Amino acid sequence: MIASTTSTPSTLLLAAPRGFCAGVDRAVLIVERAIEAYGPPVYVRHEIVHNTHVVERLRDLGAVFVEDETEAPPGAVVVFSAHGSPPEAFANSRRLDHTLIDATCPLVIKVHHEARRYARDEMDIVLIGHEGHQEVVGTMGQAPRSISLVESEEDVDALEFEDEANVAYITQTTLSMDETSGIVERLRQRFPLLHQPKKDDICYATTNRQQAVKSLAQRCDLILVVGSQTSSNSKRLVEVSVERGVPAHLIDDASEIDEAWLEGVDTIGLTSGASAPEDLVERVVAWFQDRGTRTVDTVTVVDEDVEFALPAVLARKLGSEEAHSRSA
């Protein structure tokens, strides 16, 4: 690929799919509709999704973000974030008589079910994930006495179980397939009778976005990923690009673009993490067009058409509100 001698790329390639996945779209909608149905304030346990701009917009609408459900007053409306929460958090909210709306992504709930099932079968569970990530905290809470967390192949080597034929693994949904493959292979070497989920735990949207970055990396000199530093899946997109020899940077929005990155760059790729809204991508596109980028094309890897329903408690509330408005 012949590089430009200017600091303005001639071509901008957009990854598809990118941005909001079905779980994030649902979680954000849940907070918006909860504020609409119950009125502000609506308390949200942890950031509903890991994106600074989304959190600030919802805060402006009347959401109050708390790190612990006990920070919300008795009787409050409380939304639990998309990343999932441990069982004791739900128990605390019930004790405080909260109107509890669970926005946990259905794909994370699947992992929770797996953890509880393996624990009921008295198996030792290995969770592949990042310590301290909110999703990992919620998953480990499903069976804390049965789960061991690993972040690397070296962590696998340190595992010791009494019955090595009775070991299963589960995975944080936002990891990279490339990142986990070596760990899973090491687990299989250590525990030849290793049990695993019938279907891979890594989110379809995470996988699709990583595949799209791999496709961009074949055609680009540089890739920008729109997403916040707190977003695990966004960081993975950067790593996927760098692992393929293409420099990449994570930016919250267009204001964080460093023009020094663009020296000698002719074709630039642009994508966004699963918690980043599309309007932020559009602003980055406009930033390049204002500086003379002439060609903007989309590189489509797969079309996504997944949708998740609203939680029953919120759907019922919205239904009764609509029925009341029609009869008024």
Active site residues: 135
Q: Using CB atoms within 10 Å of the CB of residue 87, give its burial: 0 to 12 exposed, 13 to 18 middle, 19+ buried.
A: middle
Helix ranges restricted to H, 101-176: 106-120, 134-140, 153-157
> Per the omega criterion (within 30 degrees of 0), is the bond before 17 cis?
yes
**Among 83, 164, 62, CA closest to 123:** 164
- Sheet bearing 248-251, strands edge to edge: 248-251, 222-226, 267-272, 11-16, 295-300
Do the Cβ atoms of 309 and 103 come closer than 8 Å? Answer: no
Residue 161: both structure tokens together: 């179980």
Residue reference for tokens 């974030």:
81
Cβ-contact 257, 214 below 8 angstroms: no
CA distances from 209 to 176, 268, 296 (A): 10, 16, 19
Beta strand extents in the chain (DSSP E only): 11-16, 42-45, 63-66, 77-80, 99-102, 124-128, 147-150, 167-171, 222-226, 248-251, 267-272, 295-300
